[in-house]
A and B are shown apart, each in its own frame.
Chain A
Amino acid sequence: MSEYALEMRDYAFSYGSVGEDALRDITFGLESGSFTVLCGASGSGKSTLLRALKPELVVAGASKGTVRVLGDDPYLLSPVESATRVGFVMQDPENQIVTDTVWHELAFGLESIGMDTQTMRRRVAETAHFFGIGGWFDRRTADLSGGQKQLLNLAAVVVMQPAVLVLDEPTSQLDPIAAKGFFDVLERVNAELGITVLITEHRLEDVLPFADRVLFLERGGTLAYDGDRDGFVRMLKKDGEGLYAALPAATRMSILLERAGRGPGEHASYPVTVREGRAYLASALATVGAQGGLDAEPLPMGRTIPSGDVVLRAKDVWFRYAREMPFVLRGVDFNLHAGRVAALVGGNGSGKSTLLCALAGVRRPERGRIVKARNLHVALMTQNPKALFVRDRLVDDLLEWSDLGGYTLSDVHNMLERFGLERLGDRHPYDLSGGETQKAALAKILLLKPDVLLLDEPTKGLDAPAKAQVGAILADLALREGKAVLLTTHDLEFVSEVAHTCSMLFGHEVACTQDAHGFFLDNLFYSTPTARIARGMLDGCVTTTDVAVSLGLGEGAHDG
Chain B
Amino acid sequence: MAKGLFATYHPAVCMLFFLAAIGFGFSTQHPAYVALSCSMSGAYLVYLRGWRPFLRTMGMCVPLVVFVGLLNSLFNAAGATVLWQWGPFSVCAEGLCYGVAMGGMLAAVLLWFACYNEVMTEDKFTYLFGRRLPTVSLMVTMVSRWIPRMVSRGRSVHDSQEALIGGYDRSKRGMLRRGVRMATVLVGLGMEDSIQTADSMSARGYGATIRTSYARFRWHARECVVMGVLVVLIAANAVLLVADAGAFTYYPRVAAVEPSWGYATYALMLGTPFWVELERLRVPWRGSSYGKQSCTRVGAHGRE
Residues of A at under 8 Å CB distance from B? 54, 56-57, 78-80, 82-84, 87-88, 90, 92, 94-101, 103-104, 107-117, 120-121, 124, 140-142, 153, 156-157, 160, 357, 360-363, 377-384, 386-390, 401, 404, 430, 445, 448, 454
Q: Are A79 and B164 neighbours in the complex by a CB distance under 8 Å?
A: no
Are B141 and A114 neighbours in the complex by a CB distance under 8 Å?
no
Q: Can you sample 29 A-B contacts with CB below 8 Å? A: A54-B203, A56-B202, A56-B203, A80-B208, A83-B208, A87-B203, A92-B193, A94-B149, A95-B193, A98-B142, A100-B122, A100-B144, A100-B145, A103-B214, A104-B126, A112-B208, A112-B209, A113-B205, A116-B212, A117-B212, A120-B212, A121-B214, A160-B204, A381-B160, A382-B159, A386-B192, A404-B165, A404-B169, A448-B165
Q: Complex formed: what's the CA distance from A379 to B202 in Å?
A: 40
Pick the interface stretch among B7-15, B30-38, B181-189, B295-303. B181-189
Q: Does B213 contact A (CB under 8 A)?
A: yes
Whether the pair B188, A389 counts as a contact (CB closer than 8 A) is yes
A99–B146 alpha-carbon span in the complex (Å): 9
Q: How large is the interface on B (under 10, 10 to 19, 20 to 34, 35 or more residues)?
A: 35 or more
Measured between beta carbons, the chain B residues less than 8 angstroms from A445 are: 164
Residues of B193-252 whose CB lies within 8 A of A: 193-194, 196-197, 199-216
Partner of A80, one of B166, B205, B212, B213: B205
> Given the known A-B contacts A96-B197, A96-B200, A404-B168, are A111 and B213 also in contact in the complex, defined by CB atoms under 8 Å?
yes
From A107, A381, A387, contact of B214 by CB (8 A): A107
Q: Which 8 A-B pairs have the closest CB atoms?
A: A83-B205, A380-B163, A107-B214, A79-B208, A109-B204, A95-B196, A142-B148, A112-B205
Which chain A residues lie closer than 8 Å to B120 at the CB level?
none
A448–B164 contact, CB under 8 A? Answer: yes
Query: A357, B188: Cβ atoms under 8 Å?
Result: no
CB within 8 A of A95: which of B184, B200, B204, B207?
A: B200
Most buried by A among B134, B141, B145: B145
Give Cα A90 to B6, complex, Å: 41
Residues from chain B with Cβ under 8 Å of A80 in the complex: 205, 208-209
B-side contacts of A379, CB under 8 Å? 163-164
Q: Contact check, A382 vs B156: say whether CB atoms are below 8 A apart.
A: yes
**Given A99-B145, A100-B144, A104-B214: A388 touches B160 (CB 8 Å cut-off):** yes
Q: Which residues of B contact A377 (CB under 8 A)?
A: 167
Closest-CB distance, A377 to chain B (whole angstroms): 8
Are A362 and B207 in contact (CB-based, < 8 A)?
no
Closest to B184 in A: A390
- Give the distance in Å from the alpha carbon of A82 to the alpha carbon of B138 in the complex: 22
Q: A79-B208, A92-B196 are in contact. List 4 more A-B contacts (CB 8 A).
A: A96-B197, A104-B126, A112-B201, A121-B214
The reply to whether A362 and B192 contact each other, CB–CB distance below 8 Å, is: no
Set of chain B residues within 8 Å of A156, measured between Cβ atoms: 204
Q: Are A380 and B188 in contact (CB under 8 A)?
A: no
Contact present for B159 and A362 (CB under 8 Å): yes
Contact partner, B205, options A84, A103, A104, A153, Cβ 8 Å: A84
Contact status B211-A112, CB under 8 Å? yes
Contact yes or no, B145 A157, CB < 8 A:
no
Interchain CA distance A107-B202 in the complex, whole Å: 14
Measured between beta carbons, the chain A residues less than 8 angstroms from B64 are none
**Secondary structure of the B side of the interface?**
helix
Are A90 and B200 neighbours in the complex by a CB distance under 8 Å?
yes
Q: How far is the CB of A397 from chain B (nearest CB, A)?
A: 11
**What CA separation (Å) do A430 and B184 show in the bound complex?**
14
Contacts of A388 in B (CB 8 A): 160, 164
CA distance A231 to B167 in the complex (A): 56
Q: Which residues of A contact B197 (CB under 8 A)?
A: 95-98
- For B215, list chain A residues within 8 Å (CB): 117, 121
B277 at the A interface (CB under 8 A): no
B200 and A390 form a contact (CB under 8 A):
no
Is B267 close to A, CB under 8 A? Answer: no
- Report the nearest A residue to B202, measured CB to CB: A56
Chain B residues with CB under 8 Å of A142's CB are: 145, 148-149, 152
> What are the residues of chain A within 8 A of B157 when measuring CB–CB?
387
Chain A residues contacting B181 (CB-CB under 8 Å) are 390
Q: Per a CB cutoff under 8 Å, which of B149, B169, B194, B204 touches A157?
A: B204
Cα separation A445 to B201 with both chains bound (whole Å): 36
A119 → chain B closest CB, angstroms? 10
Complex: chain A residue closest to B123, CB-CB? A101
B162 close to chain A: CB less than 8 A: yes
Complex Cα distance, B166 from A377, in Å, reads 11
Contact across chains for B163 and A360 when beta carbons are under 8 A apart: yes
CB pair B209 A79 closer than 8 Å: yes
Look across to chain A and name the residue whose beta carbon is closest to the beta carbon of B166. Answer: A362
CA distance A92 to B197 in the complex (A): 10
B138 contact set on A, CB distance < 8 A: 99
CB proximity of B111 to chain A, nearest CB, Å = 22
Instruction: Contact check, B196 vs A357: say whether CB atoms are below 8 A apart.
Output: no
Q: Which residue of chain B has the shortest Cβ distance to A450 in the bound complex? A: B164
Could you tell me the distance between the alpha carbons of A56 and B205 in the complex, rounded to whole angstroms? 8
Please measure, in the bound complex, the distance between the C-alpha atom of A387 and the C-alpha atom of B153, giving whole angstroms.
Answer: 9
Chain A residues within an 8 Å CB radius of B184: 390
Known contacts A90-B196, A117-B215, A382-B160; is-contact A98 B145 (Cβ 8 Å): yes
Give Cα distance in the complex from A113 to B200, angstroms.
Answer: 14
Residues of B contacting A100 with CB < 8 Å? 122, 141-142, 144-145
**Chain B residue at minimum C-beta to C-beta distance from A101:** B123
Q: How far apart are the CA atoms of A256 and B87 in the complex, in Å?
A: 100
Determine whether the beta carbon of B202 is less than 8 Å from that of A57: yes
Determine if A380 and B142 form an interchain contact, defined as CB atoms under 8 angstroms apart: no
CB-CB under 8 A from B201, the residues of chain A are: 98, 108, 112
Given A57-B199, A103-B216, A121-B214, verify A108-B204 contact (CB < 8 Å): yes
A112 to B204, CA, bound (A): 7
Q: How far, in angstroms, from A255 to B53 measured CA to CA in the complex?
A: 64
Contact flag A79-B205 (CB < 8 Å), given A98-B200, A114-B212, A361-B163? yes
A97 in contact with B145 (CB, 8 Å): yes
**Please, which residues of chain B bring their CB within 8 A of the CB of A361?**
163, 167
Least CB distance from B139 to A in Å reads 11
Complex CA–CA separation, A134 to B189 (angstroms): 33
| Residues B208 and A380 in contact, CB atoms below 8 Å apart | no
- Chain A residues with Cβ below 8 Å from B148 are 140, 142
Contact residues in A for B156 (Cβ distance below 8 Å): 382-384, 387
Name the A residues within 8 Å of B199 (CB-CB): 56-57, 90
> B142 to A114, Cβ gap below 8 A?
no
CA distance A380 to B165 in the complex (A): 10
Tell me, rounded to whole Å, the shortest Cβ–Cβ distance linking A199 to chain B: 16
Q: Smallest CB–CB gap between A145 and chain B, Å?
A: 13
The one of B126, B209, B213 in contact with A113, judged by C-beta atoms closer than 8 angstroms, is B209
- CB closest chain-A residue, reference B193: A95
- Complex Cα distance, B159 from A383, in Å, reads 11
Chain A residue numbers with a CB within 8 Å of B166 are 362
**The one of B122, B189, B207 that contacts A79, using a Cβ cutoff of 8 Å:** B207
Q: Which of B167, B189, B212 contacts A111 (CB 8 A)?
A: B212
CA separation between A100 and B130, bound complex, in Å?
A: 14
Q: Kindly list chain A residues whose C-beta atoms are within 8 Å of the C-beta of B207.
A: 79, 112
Hey, which chain A residues are within 8 Å of B164, CB to CB? 379-380, 388, 401, 445, 448
Q: What B residues does A378 contact at CB under 8 A?
A: 163
For A363, list chain B residues within 8 Å (CB): 159
Residue of A84, A101, A362, A387 near B122 (CB, 8 A) is A101
Tell whether A94 pairs with B163 under 8 Å between CB atoms, given A56-B203, A88-B203.
Answer: no
